[in-house]
């Protein structure tokens, strides 16, 4: 929060918001009432108040404004950064963090040690003109709410401290101007050497990423549209967090601890997918899709978990809009797709699946919130005051108001009654139908028809059916298959489809029973169905061949540069042997007279 607060104070585009809070009488009046002893706020107290409260005031202010009147950057600043920032710590004495404002932009910040330079006990000058700081007089350590330990990376410069041997609390500040650590004998040779090194490193990295066996996620470079695996180090680093975060549902779980048999157990918190939010901007995760454009590989699980974080994020899926298909939700649809294009590579046909998936997760999230917070014995005002920590207060108020409308309560009763009538519970868990169908196709050598897939998804691991209704249904299906296959020349897959439709009844509007999200009646039963997955893989394969040719050309260029470099180096060596006195007799590594 301290780092985010510093960003808000120095972001130029919200200067008018900072001016508004100064003149906001309502805000000042509320804070004065909270400080009953201090009726008058002096300038120092008022500035401290603004520093502590501006981020909350700004957040509420932005979330109550019309979405079309503010930019996406301002909205992202209002909601704040992803709570799991990325630590870029390289050495123990440096702490560098990267704040990710949910894909809108990133800010790199340094946590610094601040010394008290306003009093003689914190700073002094010695007789030689050196500035000394008292290391025991640190301020803005981050322990207090109003501390400011963070600054932008562009605001820092490196200095060194030399401890006073007599008084160990005091350290002299030494600024060192960067100097060359070697003499360049031949400018042409130096330039070619640097050029060769950079080209070689680039080529080696490109070839390594695309030649190793595929052990991690399939990564697509934004520069070349080709796929390859991430390097082994990145695989181990990212896969563990991906798999860990993908093992549970996207419900809004609390960070709590339980005592069991005298031992404390910490429950897992809400899924954040920080590794995806903080991905390199030059890379995307490649999604393999089936003939309907639905992701069907292991990367699909990562996509599903990431879409869950979007569905529970008020920036991308606000709770104060009652329905997903309303016109005011259309700009958010575009915003979601724009974000996904930066993180994943997929064909355009997959966009419909993505929006369907976020819609379902968004509705499930609202249902979870109601199940947890709605109490018919409480008033609307009482529930509105209990704002969940991950929900924007204005959106929460609007959602609670919706719960208490007559239309919503009537719809809720209908949905509850319909849910009790539902049958045929499946056993696939979190694995999508598309992924399971792809696995069955690889195992059996052919894609399962709907009847085969229905049976597979409604059996337990021990081979038993989930309930008697499914068992009776499949017994009828087998009897019909045995009866009709003897007197009909119909293909077995077609026969299965006919029997499945007879037993299950008419399809629901806009959906295909037993196929999950994605397939529609027109795409599944249509005569001119086109295989999106094959076309997508063909496009990527063509790009890979193109990049191979480009890499071959780069390799040839590097070889040519190496030959030229070797020739220049040989000529330089011959010149050195003929004229040994051309070099300086002093090593440039030795300190000069003006170094301290």
**Looking at 507, 530, 553, which one is the last position of a domain?**
530
* Residue partners of 225: CB distance under 8 A and separation at least 6: 345, 540, 543, 547
Tokens linked to 112: 């610094």
Instruction: Give, as one character, the DSSP assignment of residue 85.
Output: P
* Predicted local confidence at residue 540, as pLDDT: 56
pLDDT tens per residue across span 543-570: 555 555 666 676 777 777 667 766 765 6
* Predicted local confidence at residue 30, as pLDDT: 56
Same domain, 241 and 373: yes
Closest CA to 287 of 264, 304, 266: 304
Percentage of the chain modeled with pLDDT above 70: 62
Per-residue DSSP letters for 371-408?
Answer: HHH--TTS-HHHHHHS--TTS-HHHHHHHHHHHTSHHH
307-316, 352-361, 411-420: least confident range: 411-420
Closest CA to 275 of 316, 245, 319: 245
- Summarize the confidence of residues 180-191 as an average pLDDT: 47
pLDDT tens per residue across span 287-306: 888 888 888 888 888 899 99
Chain mean pLDDT for the chain: 72
376 φψ region: left (φ > 0), alpha (ψ -120 to 50), beta (else): alpha
Same domain, 57 and 161: no
- Summarize the confidence of residues 563-578 as an average pLDDT: 59
- Tell whether the model's pLDDT for residue 47 goes beyond 70: no
Same domain, 221 and 299: yes
pLDDT tens per residue across span 334-366: 999 999 998 999 988 899 999 999 999 999 999
- Tell whether the model's pLDDT for residue 584 goes beyond 50: no
* Predicted local confidence at residue 582, as pLDDT: 41
Same domain, 98 and 127: no
* Predicted local confidence at residue 4, as pLDDT: 79
Residue 528, Cβ density class (10 Å: 0-12 exposed, 13-18 middle, ≥19 buried): exposed
User: Does the residue 552 lie in any domain?
Assistant: no
Domains: count for the chain: 4
CA-CA distance, 497 to 452, in Å (whole number)? Answer: 10
CA dihedral 234, 239, 241, 244 (to 10 degrees): -170
> Sorting pLDDT into bands at 50, 70 and 90, what band is 49?
low
User: Does the residue 187 lie in any domain?
Assistant: no
* Residue partners of 386: CB distance under 8 A and separation at least 6: 373
User: Does the residue 575 lie in any domain?
Assistant: no
Do 104 and 281 meet the contact criterion of CB atoms below 8 Å apart? Answer: no
- Summarize the confidence of residues 432-447 as an average pLDDT: 86
Same domain, 234 and 350: yes
* Predicted local confidence at residue 397, as pLDDT: 92
> Sorting pLDDT into bands at 50, 70 and 90, what band is 531?
low
Task: Give the residue with greater pLDDT, 166 vs 180.
Answer: 166
Helix and strand totals (H; E) in the chain:
20, 16
- Tell whether the model's pLDDT for residue 395 goes beyond 60: yes
User: Does the residue 95 lie in any domain?
Assistant: yes
**Looking at 104, 130, 152, which one is the last position of a domain?**
104
> Sorting pLDDT into bands at 50, 70 and 90, what band is 596?
very low
Task: Give the residue with greater pLDDT, 43 vs 335.
Answer: 335
Same domain, 227 and 350: yes
Same domain, 140 and 54: no
* Predicted local confidence at residue 91, as pLDDT: 43
Same domain, 248 and 160: no
CA 214 to chain centre: 22
Task: Give the residue with greater pLDDT, 400 vs 495.
Answer: 400
Task: Give the residue with greater pLDDT, 305 vs 26.
Answer: 305
Same domain, 153 and 82: no
* Predicted local confidence at residue 240, as pLDDT: 37
Q: Between vectors from CA 120 to CA 118 and to CA 124, what angle results, nearest 5°?
A: 100
Percentage of the chain modeled with pLDDT above 90: 13
* Predicted local confidence at residue 242, as pLDDT: 37
Residue 68, Cβ density class (10 Å: 0-12 exposed, 13-18 middle, ≥19 buried): exposed
Residue 1, Cβ density class (10 Å: 0-12 exposed, 13-18 middle, ≥19 buried): exposed
- Tell whether the model's pLDDT for residue 260 goes beyond 60: no
Tokens linked to 359: 């819609």
User: Does the residue 205 lie in any domain?
Assistant: no
Task: Give the residue with greater pLDDT, 73 vs 51.
Answer: 73
User: Does the residue 204 lie in any domain?
Assistant: no
Task: Give the residue with greater pLDDT, 65 vs 173.
Answer: 173
Same domain, 32 and 150: no
Closest CA to 245 of 271, 266, 227: 271
Strand, helix or coil at 99?
A: strand
Same domain, 328 and 465: no
User: Does the residue 592 lie in any domain?
Assistant: no
User: Does the residue 91 lie in any domain?
Assistant: yes
Do 75 and 314 meet the contact criterion of CB atoms below 8 Å apart? Answer: no
> Sorting pLDDT into bands at 50, 70 and 90, what band is 141?
low
* Predicted local confidence at residue 533, as pLDDT: 57
Sign of CA dihedral 363, 519, 337, 251: positive
Same domain, 282 and 385: yes
CA-CA distance, 116 to 139, in Å (whole number)? Answer: 6
Do 495 and 488 meet the contact criterion of CB atoms below 8 Å apart? Answer: yes
**Looking at 80, 104, 128, which one is the last position of a domain?**
104
* Predicted local confidence at residue 75, as pLDDT: 76
Tokens linked to 295: 């992701």
By residue range, what is the domain housing residue 123? Answer: 112-179
């Amino acid at each position: 929060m301290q780092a985010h607060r510093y960003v808000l104070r120095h972001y130029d585009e919200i200067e008018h918001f900072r001016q508004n809070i100064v003149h906001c009488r309502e805000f000042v009046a509320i804070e004065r009432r909270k400080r009953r002893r201090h009726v008058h706020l002096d300038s120092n107290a008022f500035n401290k108040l603004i520093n502590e409260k501006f981020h909350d005031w700004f957040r509420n202010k932005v979330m109550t404004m019309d979405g079309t009147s503010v930019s996406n950057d301002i909205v992202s600043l209002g909601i704040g950064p992803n709570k799991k920032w990325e630590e870029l710590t390289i050495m123990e004495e440096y702490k560098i963090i990267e704040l990710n404002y949910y894909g809108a932009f990133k800010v790199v910040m340094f946590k610094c040690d601040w010394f008290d330079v306003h009093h003689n006990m914190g700073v002094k000058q010695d007789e030689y003109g050196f500035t000394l700081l008292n290391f025991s007089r640190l301020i803005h350590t981050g322990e207090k709410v109003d501390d400011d330990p963070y600054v932008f990376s562009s605001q820092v410069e490196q200095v060194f401290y030399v401890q006073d041997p007599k008084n160990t609390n005091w350290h002299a500040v030494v600024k060192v101007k960067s100097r060359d650590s070697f003499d360049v004998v031949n400018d042409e040779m130096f330039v070619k050497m640097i050029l060769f090194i950079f080209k070689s490193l680039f080529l080696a990295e490109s070839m390594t990423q695309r030649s190793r066996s595929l052990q991690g996620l399939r990564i697509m470079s934004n520069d070349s549209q080709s796929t390859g695996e991430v390097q082994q180090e990145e695989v181990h680093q990212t896969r563990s967090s991906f798999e860990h975060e993908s093992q549970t549902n996207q419900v809004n779980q609390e960070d709590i601890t339980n005592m069991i048999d005298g031992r404390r157990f910490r429950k897992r918190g809400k899924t954040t997918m920080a590794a995806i939010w903080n991905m390199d901007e030059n890379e995307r995760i490649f999604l393999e899709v089936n003939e309907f454009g639905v992701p069907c590989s292991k990367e699909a699980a990562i996509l599903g978990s990431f879409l869950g974080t979007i569905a529970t994020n008020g920036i991308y899926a606000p709770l104060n809009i009652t329905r997903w298909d309303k016109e005011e939700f259309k700009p958010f649809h575009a915003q979601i797709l724009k974000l996904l294009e930066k993180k994943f590579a997929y064909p355009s046909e997959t966009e419909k699946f993505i929006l369907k998936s976020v819609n379902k997760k968004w509705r499930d999230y609202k249902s979870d919130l109601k199940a947890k917070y709605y109490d018919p014995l409480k008033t609307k005002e009482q529930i509105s005051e209990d704002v969940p920590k991950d929900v924007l207060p204005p959106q929460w108020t609007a959602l609670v108001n919706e719960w208490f409308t007559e239309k919503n309560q009537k719809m809720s009763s209908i949905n509850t009654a319909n849910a009790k009538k539902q049958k045929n519970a499946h056993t696939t868990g979190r694995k999508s139908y598309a992924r399971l169908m792809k696995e069955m196709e690889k195992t059996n050598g052919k894609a399962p028809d709907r009847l085969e897939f229905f049976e597979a998804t409604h059996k337990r691991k021990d081979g038993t059916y989930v309930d008697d209704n499914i068992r009776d249904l499949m017994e009828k299906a087998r009897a019909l298959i045995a009866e009709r296959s003897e007197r009909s020349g119909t293909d077995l897959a077609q026969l299965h489809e006919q029997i499945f439709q007879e037993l299950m009844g008419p399809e629901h509007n806009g959906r295909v029973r037993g196929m999950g999200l994605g397939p529609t009646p027109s795409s599944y039963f249509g005569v001119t169905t086109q295989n999106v997955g094959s076309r997508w893989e063909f496009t990527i394969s063509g790009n890979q061949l193109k990049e191979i040719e480009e890499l071959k050309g780069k390799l040839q260029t590097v070889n040519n540069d190496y030959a030229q470099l070797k020739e220049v180096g040989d000529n330089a060596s011959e010149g050195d042997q003929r004229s040994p006195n051309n070099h300086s007799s002093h090593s440039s590594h030795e300190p000069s007279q003006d170094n301290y």
